[in-house]
Structure 1
């Protein structure tokens, strides 16, 4: 984004300022869409109900923070997340009106008999890397618990007992309470805070990790997510300052509270809204987040070198590796490329040749790396593929 904005700067109409946020302060919101590959044999209604309390309360560590309450931000105050005031339904297809907690869009870009694509629009566009790491890592863990419900009945039962009485209203209730003390009513009549609900999901994940440890066991990445999740929830409850470098709304609130104390500002002061916007400016010389990053005041998960490499090199362990390598090596002979297929236009061939990629876990470096290295041109690659 930054590179694109700077390339545009010399042209008429430039410069362009870009902000990584979710609201314009005038009633409009734009999403940070997440997509998860989920087994098709999990009934969607069951998936949605079990996941919903998690998504409602996930904002305690994944919210980006926002000055103003309500869709237009007209009411004074600070809240945990930017998308919360725009969520108006439990389940639905819409993304710009009556936005749902769980979206029903299902384009798996893979074998439809085996997988669905769970499409979520409730989350914020985080700048803090730990917030993004936890947002995606914990959601993936919960989905894994739901998928393996037959293997993990005790952990699954914990999730099934968390159904909320008013999920849509609770999205706003959680977001509007930076003290994290508001209780949410469950369908069975119990009342729990967002932190207590998150801790129940965490306990279920821990239980699953322990249950699976006897076999091949969870990988190190899974254990790392569980450990970080536990530490952040503990910090939010007992020592808020300890997670300021990991939880975005906490970091932002510290900056805003310092400004309010120093200059005696109320929450409806326009300087606070301007500071909120400046937080998300992608320009390092302007963005407040980037100033904190330069001072090592926020924690990083990846290095700048890893970021730069990822721009041009997809992960080695999914079909993105094959697609990326094909485009880099044989791009002049590719007619079209999509999520789940590549179409080759090889000179001398009687017709276009389509290579389907219905399995996201095939086409990895381990699967096809040697063949790519042996193939001097697209014809040799296609011959090798037909031989396997």
Structure 2
């Protein structure tokens, strides 16, 4: 690369790092507030909180990386244009295609970053996050000690606590068990305690009542108890069972054994095909958004009102690409053989960027010849004698 290319590339990477840091921080704070309320409120330590926030970072970076690449391309191109650096380079005979080399190199670098995220870091982080959540799920106290909320540990079970005392006493407990279709049981108690017995967890309810509704006979039986033990270990075991998150499945496994995964993990062929090709498409779209940000600002001539029209057009194109990315997924979910359309947004973005650079490389008089003719007519030149 020439010195100019290295200079522009360094500016692109510098602003890309800055914009990515800002965007990740905004998204991270939003997610961290929810995690803080969930983890710290459930009695977890600050170390667990920071571990969970670190594990969600790869997914957050994956979300903001294309936006950061687009913002960097637009900002750097606008600055080079406003400081006449692009004008000087074009005056030396450099075409927009030649000046696009730093933007292309920048797009390839961001695509490489996105590939590492989607193929390596994201599956590993989501897998570790699932492991840590399973460990927390085994901790009955952390799962059920949430006051003022109706919790659903598993399908057909509702649990509610009005208040939790500092010593761990649960006040005004409500437990509804509807897992048996023929019989519904509802427990209410003035107090309750969670007791661990090895791998088992028991809810000891004090001064309460059990109501059993028999659906076959439509009869209700009521039992008042002084203390009653309810085994909640089954709820935890049922919750722990399940297939892996599709995003934690390694890419090589998706390529080699998609049929086997579909059988064992309860995912359709369309879901697996979409996830596999989306991992590659997310990386390639970074090249498209970087070139769109550069090529759109190369359109038009100097204006004292700035380049807000070009920036707006680039932003609209970015939104259209994102909308297209959401639209193309649905056909693949229904028919895995249609996986090539996953790459349609990337191809469209590259085609638009190539069109814009082709337009920018031609003079205005060549694009609109009637303007030159009209100007000659008004000046009286070019008319026959």
If the length of structure 2 is used for normalisation, what is the TM-score? 0.24
Structure with greater helix share of residues: 2
Q: TM-score, normalised by structure 1?
A: 0.24
